Structure 1
Amino acid sequence: IPSSEVDWKEISYQFQRDWDFPNCLGALDGKHIKIQTPSNEGPLYFNYKGYHSIGLLAVANAKYEFIYAEVDASGQDSVDGVWTNSSLRKIFENGNANIPSRGIVPNSSCKLPFVLIGDDAFPLKSYLMKPFPNKSQSNTKRIFSYRLSRAQKVVENAFGILGSKFGILNKTIPFAPEKVKDIIMACVSLHNLLCRHATKAYLPPGYVDGERKDGSIIPGTWRQYDNIFLDMLPLERLKCNELSLEEMSIRDEFANYFMREGAIVKQKLMT
Structure 2
Amino acid sequence: MPNQVRLLLLQLQGVLLHCPTSLVDANYRFLWCDIGGAGHMSDAQIFNGSELKEAMDNRTIGFPQKIHCLYDDEDTPYFLLADDAFALRTNLMKPYSTRGMTRSQAMYNYRISRGRRVVRNAFGIMANRFRAFLGRMQQSPEVVQLIVKCYVILHNMMRRRYPGEQP
**TM-score clears 0.5:** yes
Decide whether aligned partners of structure 1 residues 81 and 33 sit closer, same or farther in structure 2, where only a CA change above 3 A counts.
Answer: farther
Offset at 1:76?
5.1
Q: Which residue of 1 aligns with 2:72?
A: 108
2:83 equivalent to 1:119: yes
Does the 8 A contact of 1:60 with 1:154 survive in 2?
yes
The answer to which of 92-101 and 61-70 deviates more is 92-101
Shift of 1:153: 1.8
Q: Are the equivalent residues in 1 in contact too, given 2:52–2:61 (CA < 8 A)?
A: no
Structure possessing the higher radius of gyration over alpha carbons: 1
User: Residues 149 and 73 (structure 1 numbering): CA distance in 2 closer, same or farther, change over 3 Å?
Assistant: closer
How much has 1:169 moved relative to structure 2?
Answer: 1.6
Shift of 1:94: 1.2
Tell me the distance in 1 between the aligned counterparts of 2:91 and 2:34.
Answer: 19
1:91 aligns with 55
Shift of 1:168: 1.2
Letter of the structure 1 residue corresponding to residue 15 of structure 2:
H
C-alpha RMSD over aligned residues: 2.1
**Would you say how many aligned residue pairs link Structure 1 and Structure 2?**
162
How far 1:181 sits from its partner (Å)? 0.8
TM-aligned CA distance change 1:111 to 1:59, over 3 Å: same
User: Do 1:195 and 1:202's aligned partners in 2 also have CA atoms closer than 8 Å?
Assistant: yes
Determine if contact 2:84/2:95 at 8 Å carries over to the other structure.
yes
Alignment of 1:211-230 (within 5 A): none
* 1:70 corresponds to 2:34: yes
Deviations 1:60-110 (A, max 9, x none): 100111111121355653202221221111111111133246444331222
Asked whether 1:155 is paired with 2:119, we answer: yes
**TM-score of the aligned structures, taking structure 2 as reference length:** 0.84
Identity percentage over the alignment? 26
Give the equivalent residue in structure 2 for 1:35: 12
Residue aligning to 1:138: 102
| Partner Cα separation in structure 2 for residue 183 and residue 105 of structure 1 | 40
The structure-2 alpha-carbon separation of the partners of 1:123 and 1:166, relative to structure 1 and needing over 3 Å to count, comes to farther
Aligned residue identity for 1:35: L
When normalised by structure 1's length, the TM-score is 0.54
1:169-190 Cα offsets, whole Å, 9 max, x none, are 2222222222111100001111
Please list every run of 5 or more consecutive structure 2 residues that lacks an aligned counterpart in the other structure. none
Question: Deviation per CA, 1:134-188, whole angstroms, max 9, x where unpaired?
Answer: 2211122112112222222211110111111112122222222221111000011
- Structure 1: where are the runs of 5+ without partners? 1-27, 37-50, 204-271
| Amino acid paired to 1:55 | H
1:53 aligned counterpart, secondary structure: strand
